[in-house]
Amino acid sequence: MSTEVSLKSINRLAIPATISGIAEPVLSITDTAIVGNVPVDGLESLAAAGIVGSFLSMLIWVLGQTRSAISAIISQYLGAGKLNEVKNLPAQAIFFNLLLSIVVLLSTIFVIEDIFKLFEASGKILEYCVSYYSIRVWGFPLTLFTFAVFGIFRGLQNTFYPMVIAIIGAGLNILLDFVLVYGIDGFIPALYLEGAAWASLISQGVMAILVCILLVKKTDISLKLVFPLNKEIKQLLFMSLHLFIRTLALNAALMIAVREATVLGDHHIGAHTIAINLWLFAAFFIDGYAAAGNSMGGKLLGAQDFVRLIDLAKKIMLYGLFISFILMVAGFIFYRPIGRVFSNETLVLETFYDIFYIVILSLPINTMAFVFDGLFKGMGEMKYLRNVLLLATFLGFVPVLYLGKYFGLGLHAIWIAFVVWMMVRGLALVWKFRVKIIPLAQNP
């Protein structure tokens, strides 16, 4: 089954994937901007939203890796013309994932305060962390379900439906943020930080319902759990396990960063919260092309079309760099107005402006890492992705961060460590792709 590698075919997947991908950081950015400007305890609310948001992102990313595994298997079987052989796999994978998510939810809900004390949260910030998380955590299984179905659509070379769902979810969340955080005089009381949590939970529920309807109505994939287990379930679980370990390492870096920023003080964690949300926004923006590489790369691998797979990698990298350049220019032009969107605290803004240039300059490096990360996921190379993340985190990010801390670099140490982290990831993936795929293309 032939797959065209052209700007049109790549953008057909990449543009909807980009819009879908930025929905999550848009939600986080909206929460950050709205919560950071509440009239009561805005700084403490901003810090709590940043800490809880980072922890929830860790949980979702760690347990949401079934999405990539499902996408890789389905795209490869689609490319090989054998899709019927894995039609019962998604329901089995989703059932396993939801079961695991419920176990995690129930195991954290009773020790919330202890969890956030590990992030050095105390006083009002800790109090707000507990109340915010107590609401948002119930959307955790809903998000995992939605992500898994997004993976099915991606494997089927369809990123349009996830885009539609993401737009609806993001729009609803933003609307509810304004209504529930600030309230409506005489109708709805201002709930402040808890209002943002309820806005997220309601939006997650709506997205889960809509994505379920689309899957049932628009595809031949059934959500009915059928036995015996599919022959690929073992491979899917191993792929998910590799990604699980990989994402633990990934989130170890993010959590260590949050913890060290919190230790530096309230205005540092506030500035870091703004910076990391913008970093994630740019990452997911670029990741749209990585998603196209994921879908098309798996299909081309299934069809054993290595020449076009190399062509795909070159073109997606080029398009991704173009997007990152546009984001860099926008970042430098709107350097100061961007900060004022999120906070009116002078200390927070001064600290943010002091490190924002690092976030902007890191974008091309991030592009290299994200593009090849997507390609490797589509190719099913989860074990190598795991090893690269472990290397980048524990021999790159952590030593650089604590060396910078030793020399008193403060928040700069965290963001320099992020640059090194992404550089190690990107270079390792480019090297492996050249070593493995180019010889296969030269000797078909």
Distance CA 293, CA 374 (A): 6
Is the distance from CB of 48 to CB of 129 less than 8 angstroms?
A: yes
Q: Which residue has the tokens 């997911």?
A: 284
Could you give the dihedral angle defined by the CA atoms of residues 212, 217, 223 and 226, in that order, rounded to the nearest 10 degrees? 170
H helices of 362-397, in order, are 363-378, 382-392
**pLDDT at position 1:** 45
Distance CA 253, CA 389 (A): 10
Is the distance from CB of 421 to CB of 391 less than 8 angstroms?
A: no
**pLDDT at position 62:** 65
Residue 290 CB contacts under 8 Å (≥ 6 apart), including other chains = 316, 320, 370, 371, 373, 374, 375
Mean pLDDT by 10 residues, the chain (444 residues): 66 79 65 69 73 74 72 81 82 82 80 77 80 84 86 84 88 87 76 82 92 88 81 84 85 87 86 86 78 81 84 88 92 88 82 91 92 88 93 95 92 95 95 89 70
Distance CA 294, CA 115 (A): 34
CA 293 to centroid of chain Cα atoms: 16
Distance CA 199, CA 173 (A): 5
User: What is 210-259 written as a DSSP string?
Assistant: HHHHHHHHHSS---S--SSPPTTHHHHHHHHHHHHHHHHHHHHHHHHHHH
Length of the chain: 444
**pLDDT at position 398:** 95
Distance CA 384, CA 428 (A): 10
What six digits make up the tokens of 78? 């689609």
CA angle, corner 32, sides to 30 and 35, nearest 5?
A: 100
Q: Which helix (H) or strand (E) holds 349?
A: helix 346-361
Environment class of 412 (CB within 10 Å of its CB; exposed 0-12, middle 13-18, buried 19+): middle
Distance CA 44, CA 267 (A): 9
What backbone phi and psi angles, to 5 degrees, belong to 245?
-65, -40
Q: Taking the model in full, what pTM does it have?
A: 0.77
Q: Which helix (H) or strand (E) holds 115?
A: helix 112-117
Return the bridge partners of 184, or none: 188
User: What is 251-276 written as a DSSP string?
Assistant: HHHHHHHHHHHHHH-HHHHHHHHHHH
Return the bridge partners of 188, or none: 184
Distance CA 49, CA 60 (A): 16
Is the distance from CB of 433 to CB of 313 less than 8 angstroms?
A: yes
Write the Ramachandran bin of 5: left for phi over 0, alpha for psi from -120 to 50, otherwise beta. beta
What six digits make up the tokens of 173? 């969340």
Distance CA 299, CA 10 (A): 13
DSSP letter for 395, please.
I
Whether the upstream peptide bond of residue 228 has omega within 30° of 0, thus cis, is yes
Residue (of 158, 159, 51) closest to 113 by Cα position? 51
442 C-beta neighbours (distance < 10 Å), count: 10
Is the distance from CB of 148 to CB of 163 less than 8 angstroms?
A: no
Is the distance from CB of 83 to CB of 77 less than 8 angstroms?
A: yes
